[in-house]
């Protein structure tokens, strides 16, 4: 899996491509841990090019979410393929993640006027 | 009809090798779309379980995958060399949302038409059998085509 990082204002955007499974989930956890270590706690994951996710990948995302919250940060997701979204729905994880249709919507949600 | 058998050592690198082999089998048998996605997910869950919970990531223990494909059914057996009890496979009905594990069997049961666990008489390990009925996916294909026709 490739992880492409872009920093936009105080938000770190990671665009993922490939499979989010056991091995790649660990790689993503390490990447996010490194980012949190630099005090950047607003993180967005763009899943546009994620073609596959399994329970190990979902577990990695839950772990990341917990780590971000522990650091008083915020994690958003966007651009899920229909099949990936279906897996989030089956496992009910769509209830605990902030999922946006597009990266732009997610980015806008971080702006002060839009924070509820 | 085609039969395929692969064997993998229980180390993390095997996950990618297995996935690539599986994609090759599916492509060679023209299995695409939702059926391919569901199969990949279910086999991947069973494989990870076999490697981690069955073989405890001991590289000298193997995971064997047998896949049999015909016009009606696709059957995948995923066999480890551990000591797991078929009657004690974790089937968390409703995992707590913040739990990092416990979703594998649920996903397998959602994707496959039948999931069963039994003792493998050759390795002595646990065998997970996943069965997919192809007709179910023909109906999905027909519905999608109908929907596309109505939309266009």
Over residues B14-25, the pLDDT tens digits come to: 999 999 999 999
Q: Tell how strand A74-78 and strand A42-53 pair up.
A: parallel
Identify the closest residue of chain B to A19 by CA–CA distance.
B16
Q: Kindly tell me if the per-residue pLDDT of A111 is higher than 90.
A: no
Residues of B in contact with A87 (CB under 8 A): 41, 107
Under an 8 A CB cutoff, do B15 and A23 touch?
A: yes
Question: What is the band of B100 on the pLDDT scale with cuts at 50, 70, 90?
Answer: confident
Over residues B57-85, the pLDDT tens digits come to: 999 999 999 999 999 999 999 999 998 87
Q: Kindly tell me if the per-residue pLDDT of B152 is higher than 50.
A: no
Q: Which residue among B34, B40, B107 places its CB closest to the CB of A55?
A: B107
Assess B99–A contact: CB distance below 8 Å, yes or no.
yes
Å from A79 to nearest chain B CA?
Answer: 18
Over residues A19-48, the pLDDT tens digits come to: 999 999 999 999 999 999 999 999 999 999
Question: What is the band of A112 on the pLDDT scale with cuts at 50, 70, 90?
Answer: confident
Q: How many angstroms separate the CA atoms of A46 and A100, rounded? A: 9
Question: What is the band of A5 on the pLDDT scale with cuts at 50, 70, 90?
Answer: very high
Portion of chain B with pLDDT greater than 90, in percent: 72
* Other residues' Cβ atoms within 10 Å of the Cβ of residue A113: 5
Instruction: Select from A56, A80, A86 the residue whose CB has the most chain B CBs within 10 Å, as the one to mutate to test that interface.
Output: A56
Contact A58, A91 (CB under 8 A): yes
Over residues A75-84, the pLDDT tens digits come to: 999 999 999 9
Mean pLDDT estimate for chain B: 90
From the list B88, B90, B83, B65, the residue with the least C-alpha distance to B126 is B83
Q: Kindly tell me if the per-residue pLDDT of B93 is higher than 70.
A: no
Under an 8 A CB cutoff, do B41 and A96 touch?
A: no
Identify the closest residue of chain A to B16 by CA–CA distance.
A23
Q: Classify residue A100 as left (phi > 0), alpha (psi -120 to 50) or beta.
A: beta
Q: pTM, whole model, 2 decimals?
A: 0.90
């Amino acid at each position: 899996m490739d992880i492409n990082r872009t920093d936009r204002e105080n938000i770190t955007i990671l665009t993922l491509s490939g499979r989010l499974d056991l091995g790649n989930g660990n790689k993503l956890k390490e990447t996010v841990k490194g980012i949190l270590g630099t005090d950047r706690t607003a993180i967005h994951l763009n899943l546009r090019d994620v073609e596959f996710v399994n329970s190990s990948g979902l577990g990695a995302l839950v772990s990341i979410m917990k780590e971000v919250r522990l650091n008083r940060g915020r994690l958003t997701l966007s651009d899920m393929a229909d099949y990936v979204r279906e897996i989030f729905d089956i496992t009910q994880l769509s209830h605990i993640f902030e999922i946006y249709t597009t990266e732009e919507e997610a980015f806008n949600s971080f702006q002060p006027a839009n924070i509820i | 009809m085609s039969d395929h058998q692969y064997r993998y050592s229980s180390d993390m690198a095997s996950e990618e090798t297995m996935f690539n082999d599986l994609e090759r089998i599916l492509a060679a048998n023209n299995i695409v779309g939702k059926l391919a996605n569901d199969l990949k997910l279910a086999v991947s869950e069973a494989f990870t379980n076999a490697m981690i919970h069955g073989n405890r990531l001991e590289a000298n223990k193997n995971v064997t995958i047998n896949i049999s494909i015909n016009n009606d059914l696709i059957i995948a057996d995923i066999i480890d060399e551990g000591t797991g009890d078929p009657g004690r496979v974790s089937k968390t009905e409703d995992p707590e949302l913040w739990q990092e594990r416990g979703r594998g069997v649920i996903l397998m049961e959602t994707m496959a038409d039948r999931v069963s666990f039994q003792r493998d008489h050759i390795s002595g390990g646990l065998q997970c059998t996943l069965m997919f009925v192809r007709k179910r996916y023909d109906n999905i294909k027909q519905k999608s085509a109908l929907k596309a026709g109505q939309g266009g």
